[in-house]
Amino acid sequence: MSDSATDSVFRILLVEDAPDQSLLLSALLQKLGPFDVTLSQDGVQALGLAKEGGFDLILTDLNLPGMDGFELTRKLKGRFPQLPVLAATGYTDPNYVEGAYRAGVDALMTKPVDPEDLEARLRELLPRWRSEGERAPSVIAIGARPGDVEVGCGASLSAHQAAGHDVLIFVLGTGEDGDRLLGRARKAAAHLGVRLVVASATPAGSDLDQRRLLLRRVVDEMRPTWAYVPSVADRNRIRRDAHAVASAATRGVPTVLAYSSPSASLDFAPSVYRDVARWMDVKVGALAYYHPAGGGSGETSPDFAMAQARYWGRFKDFSEVEPFELLDSGPAREAEATEQHAGTTPDFEAHREPEPEPEREPVEIGSLEPEPPAVDVAAEPVSEPEPAPEPEASPEPRVTASPEPVSEPVPEPVHVPEAEPTPPPPEPAPPRRVPPPPMMPPAGRRPPTPGGPAGSDGP
């Protein structure tokens, strides 16, 4: 950055290989403001001039001989990261434009260059270029607690500050641990380069009207162009109350954006996705002051803020994004701001019911056998009845399953499956009838002769 900027004269390095375009842009710049223009026709020469220092802005074409505008921008940003680069091109292909921004250009114009567009870009990239008596745009960001603003829109505030805007963070309360949090909030605000006002050290109470009046007076004095307020879609009652206070106080602000807090509910519905990848390092650095030596609340964790930015990046080229709800102005927003949210705190699980366990049909073990209870059966088929063995002590009955003859006389135990639904067993074979053992005859009588008449004792 040149010292001449302090004297309201800005040095611009114009890199353009087409003579007619070079003369046209040079004349246009000198007509727009107090600009000292240096011309260069290729990237190599421009890089050498930039290394000598003293320039406030680089205006370059992208299609250059030798070193093109993409490579020139990368080298300039590597050596002078704060030096703004404004590019102009006649190509409008989305991949071409995306490549320019990835190379590091701060703004891009389409040829032929529109004078009004050029003036707007210059005022954006040269915030100290103001007409006499012109007031810099101002921004106010309102939070319920210290750290809320930094988490929700810290990177956007850093971008405002870099553009020369007057940025103020207004905190409605600090909670119970006020002194410790207030010190950390001051360090975080200084890291962002913004001002800080804390209304009260109590999270809620009878002084709410006083804080509302103080906020209204600050807004009237600043006359901000942008306002950042907590979203009403929040599970935390204090943050919902802060939305009502902030929305009422900023209803005359041209642009009001509602940011997401760490306790935002599923009703948060952003419509603005701002790519803040360039400013995330500043945001993370500010949040680090809330976590000295690894302490602090998880709500202000730098890791949480980075994860949130990458999550919302899926809506904008998978970059790092801060999402916002764009609030309408006028009576509709005024009515919303005065609405009191007296209900219970919503919960993520409010509409979920526990899933019932699947019912399991009971399985009767006896149904696995054709005719319960089963009895021990000899392995080999019985052709003739045999005398019953001498009675012995009855062991525990065992359930066996041997519908077919087996070679071994040892019966196999029944396998009991796990209690879960099983397909129906195949149709069992007809049971084999086994004659009961013969009764022992009374003393003095012979056993009946096989094949003799029923009831006879033999010949």
| 176 lies in the same domain as 221 | yes
Stretch 233-260: mean pLDDT, rounded?
93
| 205 lies in the same domain as 266 | yes
H/E run at residue 117? helix 115-125
Compute the C-alpha angle 295/296/298, nearest 5°: 115
Residue 450 lies in a domain: no
C-alpha distances out from residue 185 to 179, 182, 203, 290, Å:
10, 5, 15, 7
| 115 lies in the same domain as 143 | no
Report the C-alpha gap between 91 and 98 in whole angstroms: 11
| 116 lies in the same domain as 182 | no
**Of 282, 311, 338, which one is at a domain's C-terminal end?**
338
Range of the domain at 81: 3-125
Report the C-alpha gap between 105 and 77 in whole angstroms: 9
| 255 lies in the same domain as 288 | yes
* Overall domain count for the chain: 2
Q: Is the pLDDT of residue 49 over 80?
A: yes
| 20 lies in the same domain as 85 | yes
Report the C-alpha gap between 281 and 64 in whole angstroms: 32
Sign of the alpha-carbon dihedral angle for 220, 221, 225, 228: negative
What's the chain's average pLDDT? 75
H/E run at residue 274? strand 272-275
Burial class (CB in 10 A: 0-12, 13-18, 19+), 77: middle
Give the up-direction half-sphere exposure of residue 257: CA atoms within 13 A in the CB hemisphere: 23
What is the per-residue pLDDT for 71?
93
What is the per-residue pLDDT for 422?
59
Instruction: Give the helix ranges, DSSP H, for 277-365.
Output: 280-287, 302-312, 331-338
Which one, of 19, 65, 14, lies nearest residue 40 by Cα? 14
Of 192-206, 237-251, 318-332, 402-416, the one with minimum mean pLDDT is 402-416
| 323 lies in the same domain as 267 | yes
Stretch 239-268: mean pLDDT, rounded?
92
Which one, of 146, 425, 408, lies nearest residue 287 by Cα? 146
**Of 56, 90, 125, which one is at a domain's C-terminal end?**
125
Q: Is the pLDDT of residue 444 over 90?
A: no
Residue 228 lies in a domain: yes
What is the per-residue pLDDT for 388?
56
What is the per-residue pLDDT for 236?
93
β pairing state of 255-259 and 321-327: antiparallel
| 116 lies in the same domain as 147 | no
331: domain CATH number is 3.40.50.10320
Report the C-alpha gap between 312 and 68 in whole angstroms: 33
Residue type present at position 330: G
Residue type present at position 51: K
Per residue in 130-168, pLDDT tens? 544 466 789 999 999 999 999 999 999 999 988 888 899
Residue 374 lies in a domain: no
Residue 302 lies in a domain: yes
Residue 411 lies in a domain: no
| 100 lies in the same domain as 198 | no
